[in-house]
Amino acid sequence: MLLLFSFLPERASKYALDVDTVFLVIFWLSFIAFVLVVGAMLAFMFKYRARKGDEEPGEYITHNNLIEITWTVVPAIGIFAIFFLSLNAYKKIKWPEEVALRVNVTARQWGWQAEYPDGKKLITGTLKEEKAITPEDFQPLLYVPAGEPVEVILTSQDVIHSFYVPDFRAKYDAVPGRYTKLWFQATKPGKYPLYCAEYCGDWHSRMPALVVALKPKEWERFQKIDASTFNNSLASMPVDSLLAILRLPDEEFSKFVGEQKKAMAALPLHKRGEMIYQRLCASCHTTDGSKSIGPTFKGLYGKTENLADGSTVKVDENYLRESILDPNAKIVAGFQAVMPPFQGQLSEEEIQALIEFIKTLK
């Protein structure tokens, strides 16, 4: 039993025990059935094996009422037990309590975007390096209050993805063209890995993310940070760095947030674009001329690109803007149409900043 539990992820949500109960009941009923059936089969094979000189037919047996009733009633009881336990777990998973927070999450090939009601955004990219994924590779997608019910509204930009947090026993598909929902309540603060559990293309396994459950004081601080400051200077921070900021004394925290706001306001447009590049584009576009999933940004502005349909286009502001908002409108020759559209995800100021940054990459 202890060995079995060691293979299960930590239980870290309100309904995790209900899910595990269903799993363990099915596991042990299956295990008992396996032992009984295989044990009886082996015993019968040994006891009733053909022996030398034993050529007379055995006694003719038609049926045994007790055995037949037993092997019908006992499994039926087990099946009904599984049904009612599963129904109880399903009701808890499907219908949440009064939620404290709703967050929109959009999946894409290959990453996630979360948008909070106040405008805060977190976006994860593709881990393109061909190496084993380590805990440091998990990028923050959701900061949520520990101990409070959170509802996630899911959709997809391209194909079916699946939002899966093993520690929460929470899993639901993100489907293009519609919204699906799931909820969870983290029982304690911590960092919980998030995976896509639906095969969604070549880089399906390279889009790791994190759900970070915050203590009440940390969550209060998180809410106080305005969306512009967070999106432009804090969203791309490693989790531990942001947690360190949220844990500062009150005066130091207020001072830090104020300084960040002033620094962002004074930052040149192309520098703000560089920060957006690091957050959204670096996983697919290089700045040193090397090839990646998408064309390099080095020397891109002003050049003439050959397109997949045989035509050419001059790379100017209008082309770059169109490629950000509708990347499949003009596909560069030699590359696949895998970039998600950023229509509705970036403000005009952010688009302009990103274009200005690309212009600097001669």
pLDDT of residue 146: 94
Query: Residues 134, 137, 143, 147: what is their CA dihedral angle, to the nearest 10 degrees?
Result: -10
Architecture label for domain 270-360? Orthogonal Bundle (1.10)
Dihedrals phi, psi of 305, to nearest 5 degrees: -95, 140
Instruction: Report whether 157 contacts 108 (CB < 8 A).
Output: yes
| Two structure tokens written together for 49 | 């094996």
- 32 φψ region: left (φ > 0), alpha (ψ -120 to 50), beta (else): alpha
Q: What is the pLDDT of residue 189?
A: 95
Domains in the chain: boundaries: 1-36+65-95, 101-266, 270-360
| Low-confidence residues in the chain, pLDDT < 50 | none
User: What's the CA dihedral at 85, 25, 213, 103 to 10 degrees?
Assistant: -40
Q: What is the pLDDT of residue 161?
A: 95
pLDDT of residue 4: 57
Q: CB neighbours (10 Å) of residue 88?
A: 14
Predicted local confidence at residue 231, as pLDDT: 82
* Domain 101-266 indexed as CATH 3.10.580.10: no
State residue 254's pLDDT score: 84
pTM of the model: 0.75
Which residue do the tokens 């019908």 mark?
72
Beta bridge partners of 171: 164
